[in-house]
Structure 1
Amino acid sequence: MKRAISALAFVLFLLLGLAAPAAAGGDSDPTIGGGERVAAAAGPCGSSYRHIGHYPIGSSPVLGYMDVYWSGTTKRNCMVVNHSSATYGIKLYTEASIWPYGWSPPSCPSSVGCDGGMYSYYAGPVYTPAGVDMSNRCLNLKGVVDWTTATRTRVHCG
C-alpha cells in the first residue's frame, strides 16, 4: 500500500510540474534536463496556450521556425523561435519578437515581447503585452536565426 501511495504521489508531482512554462532563453537542450523535459511537455508558453502557427526562417536550408501560441484564458499570444535540424545545438544569434499590429516593435533583447542572444536551441518564450486583449487584434512576428530574419505582419487576426 505504501508503494502505491508513493507511486501516486510521484505521478501527481510530475503532472503538477507540466504546467510550468519554459524558462526564457534557449541555451539549454529541453531533451536533457528533467525539469526542462517536463516543462517542454506542457508547451513552452504554459498549459493554457495552444499552437496556432508555424513559420520557417530561411530556406535551403531552413534555419529555424517561429512557433506561435494563443491562450483564450489570458487573451495573449506567445512565440518561440526554435532552431531547425540544420542549426540545432549550434550557438547562433537567435531572436523571437512578438507585438500587436500597429504598435512599435519591442526593444531587444531585454523587453516584454523580445528575447535575443547567442542560443543553441531556441529563443523565447515571449508574450504580447499584459493587459492587452489580443482577441480581435492582429500580430506582428519577427524571428532570427544566425542573422537570417523572417517577419510576418498582420497575422492571426482574432
Structure 2
Amino acid sequence: MHTRKLATLLTGAAVAASATMVMGAAPAGAAGPCGSSYNRVGVYAINHKVDGSRTGTLEVYYSSSTGKNCALTYGYGKYANTKSWKGVAISRGDGSGNDSDAGEFTHYAGPVYVSAPNQCIDVQGTVPDWNTRKLNNVHCG
C-alpha cells in the first residue's frame, strides 16, 4: 500500500516538475532581467585588479517609459553560475537615489534601479575580492 502511494506521489511530482519547466521557459520576446520596458544600453567587463583577467560583467539598462536605469552584475569565467560575492550599485550622477545589492549570489547581483530622467548616472559592479568597475556620469539622458 505504501509503495503504491509513493509511486503515485513520485509520478505526480515528476509531472508537476515537467509542467513547471515548460511553463518556466521564457518566450522569445520575454522581459529582460529589469523588466519588459528596459533595453540594454551598456555592457562592461570587470577585471581582476592584479592580473587583469575578467571576473565579471556589469550591465546597464534604461526604460524610456519609466525614466529609470537598472543595473546588474554577473560573474564571468570561474565566477559564472557559481556562488560567489557579487555587488552592484547605481545612483544619479550627483550621488542621490542610491540603490545597491551585494552578497553571495549564484547568478547575479541586482537588479537595482534609479530614476534619473535627463540626468547622468554612476554605476558600479564588483565580482569578487573587490575587483570593481566604476563608471561616473554615464548614460546621460
Whether the TM-score (by the shorter chain) exceeds 0.5 is yes
How far apart are the structure 2 equivalents of 1:76 and 1:105?
11
Q: Which one has a bigger Cα radius of gyration?
A: 2
**What TM-score comes out, normalization by structure 2 length?**
0.73
Query: Structure 1 residues 146, 34: CA separation in 2 closer, same or farther (over 3 Å shift)?
Result: farther
The runs of 5 or more residues in structure 1 that have no matched partner are 1-32, 107-112
- Match of residue 38 from structure 1: 26
Structure 1 residues 103 and 124, CA gap change in structure 2 (3 angstroms): same
What do you get for the CA RMSD once the two structures are aligned?
Answer: 2.2
Amino acid at match of 1:88: A
In the TM superposition, what is the alpha-carbon distance from 1:37 to its structure 2 partner?
Answer: 4.6
Q: Does the alignment pair 1:101 with 2:93?
A: yes
Q: In structure 1, what is the Cα distance between the partners aligned to 2:112 and 2:27?
A: 15
Give matches, 1:1-158, under 5 Å.
37-38=25-26, 41-59=30-48, 60-104=52-96, 106=98, 113-128=99-114, 132=115, 134-147=116-129, 148-158=131-141
Higher strand share: 2
The runs of 4+ residues in structure 1 deviating greater than 3 Å are: 33-37
Query: Which consecutive unaligned segments of at least 5 residues does structure 2 have?
Result: 1-20
Aligned length: 116
The amino acid across from 2:91 in the alignment is W
